[in-house]
Amino acid sequence: MTPTRLIVFARLPELGRVKTRLAATIGAPRALEVYVRLLDATVALAQASGADRLELCLADGGPSSAHPLPAALEARGWTVTVQRGADLGARMREALERSLELGERPVLVGSDCPALCPADLQAAFSALEGADAVFAPTEDGGYALVGLSRSLPTLFAEVPWGSAEVALRTRELARQAGARVEWLRTVWDVDVEADLIRWERGGEGGAGSGVR
């Protein structure tokens, strides 16, 4: 059976470097607190996913010796790696293809979507038994999860990252590539204060990730 890998894209929780759009209205200290909560919940989600292998893939040059998170996760059996690539698409492609080269079935999430649950991740891995790619779209036009069963580099090229056209453009690229794609249920992520209020008022799900 093909081993599964869940890759969590994240930043180390450092003041002024996380959830900057949210910080614009609630301040950097509270935005950091929110990010820590989201990241902790994403780690718990990953642990409950049933994936054979867990990976934390860090932005901004990777782990700092002063921060305990990477070492704590490595002690629990996680792999800690560094994101590599000129933009978000290149970084996701590199992480997914590295896993594919190891003979694995990878699914990648981030750390700011409080709607994903373990069943979503399990559905993604199951989808990859027949599909070339799997995505969970978000309400803002991005996607919260991406998984591959084979290399599809064109899905990550010439995508307007940060816009509401990400999922739409990805669908078109998949069609052009002749890829078999499964789209899971639509979820939502925490980018601005209204999203935070929604989460704190009991929005559905656990925590997961948004790609936009």
Taking alpha carbons only, the member of 100, 90, 65 closest to residue 80 is 65
Averaged pLDDT for residues 195-203 = 90
Q: Do β-strands 53-58 and 79-82 pair in parallel, antiparallel, or remain unpaired?
A: parallel
The yes-or-no verdict on residue 206 having pLDDT over 50 is: no
Residue 24: its pLDDT value, please? 96
Averaged pLDDT for residues 31-43 = 96
Rounded to 10°, the helix 28-47/118-127 angle is 60
Range with lowest mean pLDDT among 40-49, 65-74, 121-130, 165-174: 65-74
Q: What is the pLDDT of residues 95-151, one digit of tens each?
A: 999 999 999 999 999 999 989 999 999 999 999 999 999 999 999 999 999 999 999
Mean predicted lDDT score pLDDT of the chain? 92
Taking alpha carbons only, the member of 62, 51, 78 closest to residue 11 is 62
pTM: 0.93
Averaged pLDDT for residues 10-28 = 95
Range with lowest mean pLDDT among 6-20, 89-103, 157-171, 194-208: 194-208
Domains of the chain plus CATH, in order, are 4-200 (3.90.550.10)
The yes-or-no verdict on residue 60 having pLDDT over 80 is: no
The burial of 176, by beta-carbon neighbours within 10 Å (0-12 exposed, 13-18 middle, 19 or more buried), is given as exposed
35: pLDDT confidence band, cut at 50, 70 and 90?
very high
The yes-or-no verdict on residue 183 having pLDDT over 60 is: yes
